[in-house]
Amino acid sequence: MPALVLPNRPLSLAPDVISTPRAYFWATPIILALAIFLLAWAAPGVLRDFKISQNPLVLENGEVQNGQCTTRKAILTDCEARLVYSYNGQNYDTEVKIMFVDFHTGDYETGLVISADHPELATMSLGLDKLWNRIITLSLFVILLGGMSLGMLFQALRIWRVSGQLRQPALLNAIPVEITAFDRRRNILSITYNDKIANDKTDRSAYTRMMQGEEPLIVGEANGKAVGLAVRHGNTALPVLLDDRLQRIGMTEDERIAALAPLARQYGGDQNKPVLVEKPKTTVSIWRRLQIFFGVLLLIVVGVFGFWLWYVTSSSTQFQSPGMDINNLMPAPLNEWGCSQLKKRFGQDRAPFGCVADDYTSWK
């Protein structure tokens, strides 16, 4: 890395040299609100059906009214229905909603199931068949959305903390940073960079904006990406990307000339120094895209078929999702064979979805 000779004294940096991406201000609360809404909408139903599954009782005289299922994005299905039933002389009327991941096409058959211990708790038999599917789906969505929002919030708090620390002069330590992304729009150059070149133990990203006429101080290239020169301000968590004129550092003009002199000698003038240039995007042929598509499709098919074989021959429980869903989607001969394998091991228990008879309990 070319040498950058900075004055050996505490130096200040220009304000707003580290910026918070504008998307953080609207995306973070929206994603967090989605996670909270999803948890509040689906978690009570999952908890209710988990309690019912501890001692389920199928009611033959119960009614499932206004049942409707909607599939979104080809795999995410949500179902709702009104359940009307009587038990021990008491009448009940309740609404249930469930959400799960499924590749099923067509209608669903379902019955009414209550908890023998708590008859006020009722659900559709479909909800019990998909219980672990629903638990996994809800957990993944909440963890993904909640993790994204908390990660963005943590990064924003780190940026604001560093911005506050940069107001006080401190010793600067020059380090290389990798330019991971940049965008020129409306005379503003937006740059994302990280410090993994200087520190293998961390990969902290920072974001900055440069106005018209400002360019980052590029000193080379590594792994196909431009390498810029940044400074660590004291013990701050994020480095500050420098501009090629060092206007971001509070120095005299003579000090800037002296600091840039080693770089000027190495590159032999402005015409030879590295600059940030957007590389042309490489295109992938249609044939190559088809190869990738069918290759991925083949891996998915092999993986699904292998998982199905494991489910019907080795699974420790018949109520395992997505094993039940895959078995239900299999052609009739494979489905019958899979159900026979499950029945050999779990014939004394209630049948799972895909192998259940018209009474939603016994084996077909």
Residues 100 and 188 in one domain: no
Q: What is the pLDDT, as a whole number, of residue 165?
A: 84
Domain count for the chain: 3
Please say whether the beta carbons of 100 and 134 come within 8 A: yes
Q: Report yes or no on 221 lying in a domain.
A: yes
The residue type found at 219 is V
Which of 111, 136, 69 has the alpha carbon at shortest distance from 353? 111
pLDDT of 283 > 60? The answer is no
Query: In sequence order, which residues have a C-beta less than 8 Å from that of residue 67 and are 6 or more positions away?
Result: 79, 80, 81, 110, 124
Strand-by-strand arrangement of the 122-124 sheet:
56-59, 112-115, 122-124
Would residue 2 count as lying in a domain? no
Angle between helices 286-314 and 332-346 (to 10 degrees): 30
Q: Residue 271: pLDDT above 60?
A: no
- Are 266 and 302 in a shared domain? no
| pLDDT of residue 114 exceeding 90 | yes
Calculate the average pLDDT of the chain: 84
φ, ψ (nearest 5 deg) of residue 336: -65, -40
325 within a domain of the structure (yes/no):
yes
pLDDT class of 285 with cuts at 50, 70, 90: low
Q: Is 342 part of any domain?
A: yes
In the prediction, which pLDDT does 96 show?
A: 93
Q: Of the candidates 329, 364, 356, which has an alpha carbon nearest to the alpha carbon of residue 109?
A: 356
Strand partners, 276: none
Domain of residue 87: give its range: 27-142
- Residue 305 CA neighbour count, 13 Å, CB half: 8
The verdict on 41 and 73 lying in the same domain is yes
Instruction: Give domain status of residue 157, yes or no.
Output: no
72 and 105 assigned to the same domain: yes
Residues 176 and 258 in one domain: yes
**Mean per-residue pLDDT, 236-241:** 88
Q: For residues 155 and 191, what is the distance between their CA atoms, to the nearest angstrom? A: 16
Query: Do 123 and 178 lie in a common domain?
Result: no
- Mean pLDDT along residues 187-206: 79
The domain boundary residue, chosen from 272, 299, 331: 272
Rounded to whole angstroms, the Cα distance separating 352 from 347 reads 10
Token pair 């211990």: residue = 117
Task: Confirm if 166 and 242 have CB atoms less than 8 A apart.
Answer: no
Q: Can you give the pTM of this predicted structure?
A: 0.58
Residues 251 and 303 in one domain: no
User: Mean pLDDT over residues 260-264, rounded?
Assistant: 81
Confidence of residue 164 (pLDDT cuts 50, 70, 90): confident
pLDDT for res 328? 84
Please name the residues in contact with 161: beta carbons below 8 A apart, sequence gap of 6 or more: 237
Q: Please check whether residue 238 lies inside any domain of the structure.
A: yes
Q: Give the 3-state DSSP-derived string for the chain, with helices as H, strands as E and coil as C.
A: CCCCCCCCCCECECCCCCCCCCHHHHHHHHHHHHHHHHHHHHHHHHHHHHHHHHCEEEECCCEEEEEEEEEECCCEEEEEEEEEEEECCEEEEEEEEEEEECCCCCCCCCCEEEECCCCCCEEEHHHHHCHHHHHHHHHHHHHHHHHHHHHHHHHHHHHHHHHHHCCCCECEEEEEEEEEEEEEECCEEEEEEECCCCCCCCCCEEEEEECCCCCECEEEEECCEEEEEEEEECCCCCCEECECCCCCECCCHHHHHHHHHHHHHHHCCHHHCCCCCCCCCCCCCHHHHHHHHHHHHHHHHHHHHHHHHHHHHHCCCCCCCCHHHHHHHCCHHHHHHHHHHHHHHHCCCCCCCCCECCCCCCEC
Residues 321 and 251 in one domain: no
16 has pLDDT over 90: no
Residue 125 sits in the same domain as residue 35: yes
Q: What percentage of the chain carries pLDDT values higher than 70?
A: 91
Q: Is residue 163 part of a domain?
A: no
Backbone phi, psi, residue 141, to 5°? -65, -45
Token code pair at residue 206: 């920072």
State the pLDDT at residue 272: 60
Quick check: bond before 262 cis, omega within 30?
no
Task: Establish if 281 belongs to a structural domain.
Answer: no
Same-domain check for residues 129 and 210? no
135 and 193: one domain?
Answer: no
The answer to whether residues 47 and 104 belong to one domain is: yes
